[in-house]
Structure 1
Amino acid sequence: MTRLLITSIIPLLALAVGGTSFSQPAGPMEDPIVIQIVQLDHAVAEDLVRVLQPFLSKNGRISAYGPGNKLIIKDRKSIVRELVKVIKGLPVKSPSNHHPTE
Protein backbone atom coordinates (compact mmCIF):
# COMPACT_ATOMS: atom_id res chain seq x y z
CA MET A 1 0.00 0.00 0.00
CA THR A 2 1.30 3.45 -0.90
CA ARG A 3 2.02 5.73 2.05
CA LEU A 4 1.01 9.31 1.56
CA LEU A 5 0.58 12.46 3.54
CA ILE A 6 -2.40 14.63 2.80
CA THR A 7 -1.19 18.15 3.29
CA SER A 8 -4.38 20.13 2.93
CA ILE A 9 -7.86 20.33 1.54
CA ILE A 10 -9.00 23.86 0.81
CA PRO A 11 -12.49 24.90 -0.29
CA LEU A 12 -11.94 27.01 -3.38
CA LEU A 13 -14.24 29.72 -2.05
CA ALA A 14 -11.87 30.28 0.86
CA LEU A 15 -8.72 30.38 -1.26
CA ALA A 16 -7.20 33.75 -2.07
CA VAL A 17 -3.81 34.36 -3.64
CA GLY A 18 -2.24 37.79 -3.93
CA GLY A 19 -5.53 39.52 -3.30
CA THR A 20 -7.30 37.62 -6.08
CA SER A 21 -10.21 35.52 -4.93
CA PHE A 22 -11.19 32.34 -6.70
CA SER A 23 -14.92 31.80 -6.92
CA GLN A 24 -16.59 28.45 -6.98
CA PRO A 25 -18.26 27.58 -10.30
CA ALA A 26 -21.99 26.92 -10.27
CA GLY A 27 -22.73 23.51 -8.86
CA PRO A 28 -24.06 21.70 -5.83
CA MET A 29 -22.78 23.19 -2.57
CA GLU A 30 -22.56 19.73 -1.05
CA ASP A 31 -19.80 18.86 -3.56
CA PRO A 32 -17.61 21.99 -3.66
CA ILE A 33 -14.43 22.47 -5.64
CA VAL A 34 -11.38 21.73 -3.46
CA ILE A 35 -7.63 21.72 -3.86
CA GLN A 36 -5.68 18.94 -2.22
CA ILE A 37 -1.92 18.45 -1.98
CA VAL A 38 -0.81 14.83 -1.71
CA GLN A 39 2.74 13.85 -0.70
CA LEU A 40 3.87 10.67 -2.47
CA ASP A 41 6.44 8.34 -0.97
CA HIS A 42 6.25 5.29 -3.25
CA ALA A 43 5.25 6.70 -6.64
CA VAL A 44 6.49 9.41 -8.99
CA ALA A 45 4.13 12.38 -9.18
CA GLU A 46 4.69 12.96 -12.92
CA ASP A 47 3.72 9.35 -13.67
CA LEU A 48 0.51 9.57 -11.65
CA VAL A 49 -0.57 12.77 -13.41
CA ARG A 50 -0.82 10.83 -16.69
CA VAL A 51 -2.61 7.91 -15.03
CA LEU A 52 -5.15 9.95 -13.02
CA GLN A 53 -5.94 12.72 -15.56
CA PRO A 54 -8.73 10.75 -17.32
CA PHE A 55 -10.63 10.40 -14.03
CA LEU A 56 -11.01 14.14 -13.44
CA SER A 57 -14.08 16.15 -14.37
CA LYS A 58 -13.80 18.45 -17.40
CA ASN A 59 -12.87 21.33 -15.07
CA GLY A 60 -10.59 19.29 -12.81
CA ARG A 61 -6.82 19.73 -12.84
CA ILE A 62 -3.91 17.68 -11.57
CA SER A 63 -0.27 18.79 -11.46
CA ALA A 64 2.98 17.33 -10.23
CA TYR A 65 5.19 19.38 -7.94
CA GLY A 66 8.55 17.72 -8.55
CA PRO A 67 10.83 19.04 -5.80
CA GLY A 68 8.54 17.57 -3.16
CA ASN A 69 7.15 14.69 -5.26
CA LYS A 70 3.64 15.99 -4.59
CA LEU A 71 0.39 15.98 -6.52
CA ILE A 72 -1.84 19.04 -6.53
CA ILE A 73 -5.41 18.04 -7.37
CA LYS A 74 -8.28 20.49 -7.98
CA ASP A 75 -11.75 19.11 -8.61
CA ARG A 76 -15.06 18.38 -6.94
CA LYS A 77 -14.58 17.09 -3.41
CA SER A 78 -16.12 13.70 -4.25
CA ILE A 79 -13.75 13.15 -7.18
CA VAL A 80 -10.68 14.23 -5.19
CA ARG A 81 -11.71 11.85 -2.39
CA GLU A 82 -11.95 8.93 -4.87
CA LEU A 83 -8.57 9.76 -6.43
CA VAL A 84 -6.93 9.76 -2.99
CA LYS A 85 -8.41 6.28 -2.39
CA VAL A 86 -6.90 5.12 -5.69
CA ILE A 87 -3.51 6.59 -4.76
CA LYS A 88 -3.61 4.92 -1.32
CA GLY A 89 -4.39 1.59 -2.97
CA LEU A 90 -1.40 1.65 -5.32
CA PRO A 91 1.05 -1.16 -4.65
CA VAL A 92 4.45 -0.33 -3.24
CA LYS A 93 7.23 -1.36 -5.63
CA SER A 94 9.47 -4.09 -4.30
CA PRO A 95 13.21 -3.59 -4.56
CA SER A 96 14.46 -4.95 -7.90
CA ASN A 97 16.63 -7.55 -6.19
CA HIS A 98 13.73 -8.89 -4.13
CA HIS A 99 12.05 -11.99 -5.53
CA PRO A 100 8.91 -13.24 -3.77
CA THR A 101 9.09 -16.82 -2.61
CA GLU A 102 6.62 -19.27 -4.08
Structure 2
Amino acid sequence: MTDQVIEIAPFHLSPDRSESELLEASERFQKEFLEEFDGFVRRSLVKHEDGAYADIVTWATGAASKAAVAAAGKHAAGQAYFSLLDVSKEHAPRKAGAMEFFSVVGTYG
Protein backbone atom coordinates (compact mmCIF):
# COMPACT_ATOMS: atom_id res chain seq x y z
CA MET A 1 0.00 0.00 0.00
CA THR A 2 1.08 3.60 -0.62
CA ASP A 3 0.17 7.05 0.69
CA GLN A 4 -0.40 8.35 -2.85
CA VAL A 5 -3.67 10.07 -3.70
CA ILE A 6 -5.28 10.33 -7.13
CA GLU A 7 -7.20 13.54 -7.84
CA ILE A 8 -9.81 13.37 -10.60
CA ALA A 9 -11.14 16.78 -11.64
CA PRO A 10 -13.74 16.59 -14.43
CA PHE A 11 -14.73 19.70 -16.37
CA HIS A 12 -15.97 21.10 -19.66
CA LEU A 13 -14.23 23.77 -21.67
CA SER A 14 -16.03 27.12 -21.73
CA PRO A 15 -17.96 27.42 -25.01
CA ASP A 16 -16.06 30.54 -26.05
CA ARG A 17 -12.64 28.87 -25.62
CA SER A 18 -10.68 26.53 -27.88
CA GLU A 19 -8.89 23.31 -27.12
CA SER A 20 -5.63 24.90 -28.24
CA GLU A 21 -6.09 27.61 -25.58
CA LEU A 22 -6.75 24.88 -23.02
CA LEU A 23 -3.62 22.97 -23.99
CA GLU A 24 -1.50 26.12 -23.83
CA ALA A 25 -2.83 27.03 -20.37
CA SER A 26 -2.49 23.42 -19.25
CA GLU A 27 1.17 23.35 -20.24
CA ARG A 28 1.80 26.61 -18.38
CA PHE A 29 -0.02 25.31 -15.27
CA GLN A 30 2.05 22.13 -15.44
CA LYS A 31 5.42 23.90 -15.72
CA GLU A 32 4.86 26.90 -13.49
CA PHE A 33 2.79 25.32 -10.73
CA LEU A 34 2.52 21.54 -10.61
CA GLU A 35 6.12 20.63 -11.39
CA GLU A 36 7.27 23.08 -8.71
CA PHE A 37 4.81 21.86 -6.08
CA ASP A 38 6.16 19.52 -3.41
CA GLY A 39 4.42 16.16 -3.55
CA PHE A 40 3.43 16.26 -7.23
CA VAL A 41 3.96 12.89 -8.93
CA ARG A 42 2.26 12.94 -12.36
CA ARG A 43 -0.69 14.32 -14.29
CA SER A 44 -2.77 13.41 -17.31
CA LEU A 45 -5.25 15.67 -19.06
CA VAL A 46 -7.85 13.42 -20.68
CA LYS A 47 -10.80 14.01 -22.97
CA HIS A 48 -14.00 11.99 -23.15
CA GLU A 49 -15.71 11.32 -26.48
CA ASP A 50 -18.61 13.54 -25.31
CA GLY A 51 -16.25 16.54 -25.12
CA ALA A 52 -15.71 16.52 -21.35
CA TYR A 53 -12.18 16.73 -19.95
CA ALA A 54 -10.59 15.63 -16.71
CA ASP A 55 -7.32 16.26 -14.97
CA ILE A 56 -6.00 13.13 -13.30
CA VAL A 57 -3.25 14.06 -10.86
CA THR A 58 -1.22 11.76 -8.64
CA TRP A 59 0.07 13.21 -5.38
CA ALA A 60 2.61 11.67 -3.02
CA THR A 61 0.27 12.19 -0.05
CA GLY A 62 -3.18 13.43 0.82
CA ALA A 63 -1.61 16.43 2.55
CA ALA A 64 0.19 17.39 -0.67
CA SER A 65 -3.06 17.18 -2.66
CA LYS A 66 -4.93 19.36 -0.17
CA ALA A 67 -2.14 21.94 -0.09
CA ALA A 68 -2.03 22.08 -3.90
CA VAL A 69 -5.79 22.51 -4.21
CA ALA A 70 -5.64 25.39 -1.73
CA ALA A 71 -2.74 27.06 -3.58
CA ALA A 72 -3.66 26.48 -7.24
CA GLY A 73 -6.41 29.10 -7.43
CA LYS A 74 -4.07 31.72 -6.02
CA HIS A 75 -1.33 31.06 -8.57
CA ALA A 76 -1.38 33.04 -11.83
CA ALA A 77 -0.98 29.92 -13.99
CA GLY A 78 -3.76 28.19 -12.05
CA GLN A 79 -6.07 31.17 -12.45
CA ALA A 80 -5.38 31.31 -16.19
CA TYR A 81 -6.09 27.58 -16.56
CA PHE A 82 -9.23 27.58 -14.42
CA SER A 83 -10.62 30.61 -16.27
CA LEU A 84 -11.09 28.38 -19.34
CA LEU A 85 -13.30 25.86 -17.54
CA ASP A 86 -17.08 25.79 -17.70
CA VAL A 87 -18.41 24.82 -14.29
CA SER A 88 -22.01 25.76 -15.01
CA LYS A 89 -25.03 23.85 -13.75
CA GLU A 90 -25.56 22.57 -17.29
CA HIS A 91 -22.69 20.15 -16.77
CA ALA A 92 -23.58 19.18 -13.19
CA PRO A 93 -24.29 15.51 -14.00
CA ARG A 94 -20.58 15.04 -14.64
CA LYS A 95 -19.74 17.00 -11.48
CA ALA A 96 -17.98 19.63 -13.56
CA GLY A 97 -15.48 21.51 -11.48
CA ALA A 98 -15.77 19.04 -8.61
CA MET A 99 -12.72 17.09 -7.56
CA GLU A 100 -12.71 13.54 -6.34
CA PHE A 101 -9.81 11.88 -4.55
CA PHE A 102 -8.93 8.21 -4.51
CA SER A 103 -6.19 6.48 -2.54
CA VAL A 104 -3.94 4.25 -4.61
CA VAL A 105 -4.22 0.65 -3.46
CA GLY A 106 -2.38 -0.90 -6.39
CA THR A 107 -0.45 0.15 -9.49
CA TYR A 108 0.05 -2.20 -12.40
CA GLY A 109 2.10 -2.18 -15.59
> Same fold, TM exceeding 0.5?
no
Which has the larger share of helix? Answer: 2
TM-score category, normalised to shorter length = 0.3 to 0.5
In the superposition, the TM-score normalised over structure 1's length comes to 0.44
TM-score, normalised via structure 2 length: 0.42
Larger radius of gyration: 1
Q: Which has the higher contact order (CA 8 A, sep 6+)?
A: 2
